[in-house]
Copies of this chain bind each other. A is one copy, B any other.
Amino acid sequence: MATIYEVSKAAGVSLATVSRVMNGNVKVSDRTREKVLKAMAELGYKPNSIAQSLASNRSNSVGLLVSALHGSFFGNMMSTVEDVLRKAGKHVVITAGHSDEQQEKNAIEFLLDRRCDALILHAEAVSDEYLLELSQRDVEVVLINRRIEQMAERCFYTDNELGGYLATKAAIDKGHSDIAYISGPLFKQDAKERLEGHKRALREANIAFDSELLIEGGFHEAEGAQGYLQLTAVNKPFTALICANDEMASGAMTAARERGVRIPEQLSVVGFDDVLFARYLYPKLTTIDNPIQKMGNGAAHWVLEHVYKQKKPHQHINLFVPKLIMRDSLVAPA
């Protein structure tokens, strides 16, 4: 593999000049540039990105932390982030935190060791303090799906409270008043906010919140199924079930159906996220659009602009507004 030295010799110029031609930040005469480019082409020269990184103190890589690499929710986000950054010649190192504090910290340390220029984090388990401290270090930190006051302009998040509100409101508008709710794990901020929204919608409709109709789940399908069974065990009838994400909605629907409950005739179900398979479900799931791609896109562009000084004036939107996606799983009660 040819090095810059061989190019400089072939072109009859110094190393420095070759470097300048590559980087294009310092003026080089046209004649010289031609010579250098020709030599590069002839030698099939490719700069060694590792040497570049060492010399420039820039790794040109961005660390991305997600909870899990599989799953529709993260797939979409990774996809967007990778796309935007790779088009800018940066690369993305992806790690998984599994919603566990220690694993998230390990993953972040790993990214730091890799000398990432910036970190895009979907961190669920570490504390605000940890993240604030991290952002004092010499990496730029951007947060997805989380808001911390002191670093608000680097946070890209959904209005989860509004989303939770919209989901329940939709059921109420259809005429439901006995509404159960399976939340996410309440140590997670988004799960908590969605539940808040649910309660607000009930309050506005003068429906008393009944804690027996609330089950705390874990965002996984199995907990949706299990949550449904627990709810029926209480022996309080409900005609609509709101789930804090689509996975749990799917699990709940399956469990209900196995019990012989017809959906949506006997039970309406609403999800949250609008992941890809929401429309594959039967009946097609009514859910809340959680614009995860847009958040990924926002975060990636923020990094390009602030870390790599790309000056495409990009309008940064930090707060994304969820929308109701009406499909078939929500109908008026019998």
Residues of A within 8 A of B (CB): 1, 46-51, 53-54, 59, 68-72, 74-76, 78-79, 82-83, 86, 91-96, 110, 112-115, 138, 221, 250-251, 253-254, 257, 276-277, 280-282, 284
Contacts and interface: CB of A to CB of B under 8 A. Distances in A.
Oligomeric state, in number of copies?
2
Nearest to A53: B50
A135 to B, nearest CB: 17
Contacts of A54: 48, 50-51, 54
Contacts of A280: 221, 250-251, 254, 277, 280-281
Given A49-B114, A50-B50, A83 B70 contact: no
A77 to B, nearest CB: 9
A75 B71 contact: yes
Contact of A110 (B47, B53, B91): B91
Contacts of A86: 95, 110
Contact of A50 (B59, B78, B110): B59
Contacts of A46: 112-113
B70 A91 contact: no
A288 B332 CA distance: 38
B69 A79 contact: yes
A251 B279 CA distance: 10
B59 A83 contact: no
Given A54-B54, A69-B75, A92-B94, A253 B282 contact: yes
Contacts of A91: 93, 110, 114
A70 B76 contact: yes
Contacts of A92: 93-94
A92 B69 CA distance: 12
A72 B70 contact: yes
A51 B277 CA distance: 44
Given A79-B68, A93-B91, A277-B277, A49 B115 contact: yes
Contacts of A253: 282
A280 B49 CA distance: 44
A284 B253 CA distance: 12
A70 B221 CA distance: 19
A78 B83 contact: no
